[in-house]
Amino acid sequence: MANAKKKKTNTSNTIALNKKARHEYALEDKYEAGLELQGWEVKSIRAGKVNISDTYVFIKDGEAFLLGCQIQPLHTASTHVVADPKRYRKLLMKRREIDALIGAQERNGYTIVATAMYWKRCWVKLEIKLGRGKKSHDKREDIKDKDWARQKERMMKHNAR
């Protein structure tokens, strides 16, 4: 019994989701990027103090940066570090991926939006997607489709009984 391995609880790897992006943009291509973080930020992420609801990616001098991500500092973190919760965070991506993002953004008018933040082993990864802004009538159509799908599920559930 002393050598028996302890079972880990299988928790979700997702840290934060940007549900607003699915409503505001028609999302297409998906990319995965690493984040350049400081120590206090990793501690705050482990505590779940992250908000990526209004984030997007901008490219400057051939490098990608995340803007609008709020990581609230912990009160128990080190006191000698000046924590800026809204600072720009550099994204770690391959050159060809950044070039593809630049081309889509400049030529085709796409917006680069962060949709999810998650753990991949011990690394924090960011899922970014290319999106084109929706018009208000497109948003209304999506809401109608969701409502109709929900109603169909209810009817099928009652018919099965």
Is 149 inside any structural domain?
A: no
Is 150 inside any structural domain?
A: no
Q: 61-104: per-residue pLDDT in tens?
A: 999 999 988 888 887 766 677 777 778 899 999 999 999 999 99
Question: In angstroms, rounded to a whole number, what is the distance separating the alpha carbons of residues 18 and 55?
Answer: 8
Is 144 inside any structural domain?
A: no
Under 8 Å between Cβ of 16 and 52? yes
pTM: predicted TM-score of the whole model, two decimal places: 0.73
Is 20 inside any structural domain?
A: yes
Question: In angstroms, rounded to a whole number, what is the distance separating the alpha carbons of residues 72 and 24?
Answer: 25
Which residues, other chains included, contact 44 with Cβ-Cβ below 8 Å and sequence gap of 6+? 50, 71, 72, 73, 74, 77
Residues of the chain with pLDDT under 50: 1, 10
The CATH number covering residue 45 comes to 2.40.280.10
Is 110 inside any structural domain?
A: yes
Question: In angstroms, rounded to a whole number, what is the distance separating the alpha carbons of residues 102 and 96?
Answer: 10
Is 38 inside any structural domain?
A: yes
- Structural domains in the chain (count): 1
Instruction: Give the domain range for residue 68.
Output: 15-134
Is 78 inside any structural domain?
A: yes
